[in-house]
Amino acid sequence: MSDVKIDEVRKADYPIDEMFLNRWSPRAFQEKEVDEETLMTVLEAAKWAPSGANKQPWRFILANTEEDLEIFHSFIMEGNLEWAKKAPAYVLIISDSNESVSHAFDAGTAWGYLALQAMKSGLISHAMGGIHKDQARELLDIPDHFDIHALIAIGYQDDVSVLEERYQEREIPSERKPLTETVMKGKFVRA
């Protein structure tokens, strides 16, 4: 765990539940198994995400056995694999592009629910786009009409010292842009 306190880095401009500030994406994973029930609880929360016309186009491919983890390691890009290889579980989030025009948006919402439940369950989660999607599609036999969005590493947080030095300085919760930069009233405002 980092010496940085979340409330020193993250401050909301308006009153929100603390879970939104406390959830972040660490890279320091303990090599400690997450039990099946806890993983299913995290995925249960994700399934309750809203979706366009209630199509629920997301699918979650879980890897938490030694054999499955080895397969997943083969399609994680090298820079991510350096830290992610200690995670005891992965979830590949995909969505059926035939289901709805909002399938990717809906899958992203499911990831958000997953991340919040993981945090509430005492776990950390880190989404990665740095994967070889074609290789994942082939190895996991994913049909062409499913879009591959992200691979989520899930596990228990470890001390920052387990990371390569180049990742240690980045192992802090990130700030967010102020609403004045992201909210526009009435129409798009060009900078």
d(CA 113, CA 86): 23
Residue 188 lies in a domain: no
Residue 111 lies in a domain: yes
Q: Averaged over 140-147, what is the pLDDT?
A: 98
Which pLDDT score, from 0 to 100, does residue 9 have? 83
CA angle 57, 120, 48 (to 5 degrees): 25
d(CA 159, CA 165): 12
Q: Which of 139, 135, 140, 110 is nearest to 125 (CA)?
A: 110
The two tokens of residue 114 are: 């997953």
- The count of domains in the chain is 1
d(CA 145, CA 148): 10
Q: Averaged over 47-63, what is the pLDDT?
A: 98
Percent share of the chain, pLDDT over 70: 98
Domain range for residue 52?
Answer: 6-182
CATH number at residue 67: 3.40.109.10
Residue 189 lies in a domain: no
d(CA 148, CA 91): 11
Which pLDDT score, from 0 to 100, does residue 8 have? 78
Residue 191 lies in a domain: no
The two tokens of residue 146 are: 């499913």
Residue 54 lies in a domain: yes
Residue 78 lies in a domain: yes
Which pLDDT score, from 0 to 100, does residue 4 have? 62
Residue 154 contacts residue 91 (beta carbons within 8 Å): yes
| In the predicted structure, residue 147 carries a pLDDT above the cut 70 | yes
| In the predicted structure, residue 21 carries a pLDDT above the cut 70 | yes
Encode pLDDT of 99-141 as tens digits: 999 999 999 999 999 999 999 999 999 999 999 999 999 999 9
Which pLDDT score, from 0 to 100, does residue 3 have? 58
- Paired strand residues for 127: 152
Report the amino acid identity of residue 89: A
* 0.85 exceeded by pTM: yes
Residue 154 lies in a domain: yes
Q: Pick the range with the lowest mean pLDDT from 5-19, 22-36, 144-158.
A: 5-19
